[in-house]
């Protein structure tokens, strides 16, 4: 209920602000996109859509009913505001919902994984449909939906789906949001999405509120005297992938007043190590985050590896999962709305690392693995 109330309030705030117009919204967090305002149109540039990309993407936006700009080279031209969109990742959904545009979403990649109540209602009514078949894009169905834009992503690998969709004539928008290592930079991509709806001013105000709260909580965490050591993720088939020392997760841990076990690493992605090597470090950890989506009790962790039962942090009750808000179909809202609300994730982590702080604030995403 709390989430629905917050969502309604946020959507109402955004809708009210949207009426004030769409003034330029400079990118303030170092996010990897830019918006350039020209007379009669805007140019959106995605600087680095995936790690190691040698080129970005450029999109031209112009008001619905105005003549299409000419003499420009771009990867796509879009009339705004968008009316019908398809999202090929649940991470775009909270941004569109926050902007008050949930009704524009006519297709999603996997309906079972959607958490937003506004969109679940549309899925149940048939207003929003699933646009994949056997995990692949159903191109024919997507074309039949007549989308104004398809929000998706790329990895630079041969299995990327966006070239296939573009070749079929679908209006593709490749975002680089997942490439960000800063939680606030990731959240600021709401401005990128907002430009397609002519709601940049509203998005700026929304982002500023999130950034202000994030910085307030981080400042409070910085005052803590102790910094618990933190382990992340769990093993799979003999290997263990942990977050790099300059990654999104490492930054959240540091800002929450934790000491990440791989803070000395300089990579922004994941590190795949042997389970043996990670276990050695785990012996000195105070907190373990996200060990397994299937871990509901400490016995579940011991089933993964009997040695886990003897980890000192197990006796301290220091194991937490980001599974507080799971959808009936197996979707995890942490992977949907948390990218837009790093302030709420940070609050959860501060409560875990420093239980005497923020006692009056409820947990949003994290659940203790106990019993």
Q: Provide the b/e sequence for 239-264 (b: ≥16 CB within 10 Å).
A: ebbbbbbbbbbbbbbbbbbbbbbbee
64-71 own/partner pairs: CB under 8 Å, 24+ apart:
66/40, 66/41, 69/38, 69/40, 69/41
Strand 287-289 vs strand 229-232: parallel, antiparallel, or unpaired? parallel
CA atoms within 13 A on the CB side of 352: 35
The whole-number pLDDT of residue 371 equals: 60
Q: Provide the b/e sequence for 123-136 (b: ≥16 CB within 10 Å).
A: beeeebbbbbeeee
Q: What is the pTM of this model?
A: 0.90
DSSP-assigned letter for residue 67: P
105 by Cβ neighbours in 10 Å (0-12 / 13-18 / 19+) ranks as buried
Give me the domains of the chain, ranges plus CATH numbers: 21-212 (3.40.50.1980), 226-368 (3.40.50.1980)
Output helix, strand, coil percentages for the chain, rounded to the nearest 5: 35, 20, 45
The whole-number pLDDT of residue 18 equals: 37
> What does the pLDDT profile of the chain (371 residues) look like in tens digits?
444 334 444 444 444 433 334 445 577 767 899 999 999 999 999 999 998 899 999 999 999 999 999 999 999 999 999 999 999 999 999 999 999 999 999 999 999 999 999 999 999 999 999 999 877 899 999 999 999 999 999 998 888 999 999 999 999 999 999 999 999 999 999 999 999 999 999 999 999 999 999 999 999 999 999 999 999 999 888 899 999 999 999 999 999 999 999 999 999 989 999 988 999 999 999 999 999 888 888 888 888 888 888 899 988 889 999 999 998 888 899 999 999 999 999 999 999 999 999 999 999 999 999 86
Cα 344 from Cα 365, distance rounded (Å): 8
Of 341, 340, 347, residue with least CA distance to 362: 347
CA 319 to chain CA mean position, Å: 23
Answer yes or no: are the C-beta atoms of 50 and 162 closer than 8 Å: no
Cα 116 from Cα 131, distance rounded (Å): 18
Residue 132, φ and ψ in degrees, nearest 5: -125, 160
Of 141, 46, 138, 147, residue with least CA distance to 105: 147
Supply 185's token pair: 């930079």
Sign of the CA dihedral with 310 first, then 312, 315, and 320 last = negative
């Amino acid at each position: 209920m709390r989430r629905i109330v917050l969502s309604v309030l946020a959507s109402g705030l955004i809708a009210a602000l949207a009426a004030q117009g769409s003034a330029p919204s400079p990118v303030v967090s170092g996010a990897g996109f830019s918006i350039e305002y020209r007379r009669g149109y805007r140019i959106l540039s995605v600087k680095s859509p995936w790690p190691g990309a040698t080129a970005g993407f450029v999109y031209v936006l112009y008001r619905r009913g105005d003549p299409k700009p000419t003499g420009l080279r771009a990867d796509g031209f879009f009339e705004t505001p968008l009316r019908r969109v398809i999202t090929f990742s649940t991470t775009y959904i909270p941004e569109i919902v926050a902007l008050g545009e949930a009704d524009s979403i006519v297709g999603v990649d996997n309906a079972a994984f959607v958490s937003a109540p506004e969109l679940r209602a549309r899925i149940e009514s048939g207003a929003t449909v699933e646009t994949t078949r056997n995990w692949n894009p159903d191109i024919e169905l997507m074309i039949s939906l007549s989308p104004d834009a398809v929000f998706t992503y790329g990895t630079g690998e041969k299995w990327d789906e966006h070239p296939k969709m573009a070749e079929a004539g679908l209006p593709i928008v490749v975002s680089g949001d997942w490439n960000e290592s800063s939680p606030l930079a990731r959240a600021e991509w709401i401005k990128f999405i907002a430009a397609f709806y002519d709601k940049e001013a509203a998005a700026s105000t929304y982002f500023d509120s999130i950034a202000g709260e994030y910085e307030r909580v981080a400042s409070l965490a910085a005052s803590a005297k102790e910094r618990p050591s933190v382990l992340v993720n769990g093993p799979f088939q003999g290997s263990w992938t942990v977050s790099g020392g300059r990654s999104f997760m490492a930054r959240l841990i540091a800002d929450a007043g934790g000491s990440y076990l791989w803070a000395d690493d300089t990579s922004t992605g994941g590190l795949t190590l042997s389970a043996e090597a990670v276990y050695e470090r785990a012996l000195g950890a105070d907190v373990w985050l996200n060990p397994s989506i299937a871990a509901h009790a400490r016995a579940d962790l011991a089933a993964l590896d009997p040695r886990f039962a003897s980890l000192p942090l197990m006796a301290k009750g220091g194991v937490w999962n980001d599974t507080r808000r799971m959808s009936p179909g197996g979707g995890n809202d942490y992977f949907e709305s948390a990218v837009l609300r790093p302030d709420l994730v940070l609050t959860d982590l501060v409560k875990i690392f420093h239980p005497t702080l923020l006692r009056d604030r409820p947990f949003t995403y994290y659940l203790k693995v106990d019993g």
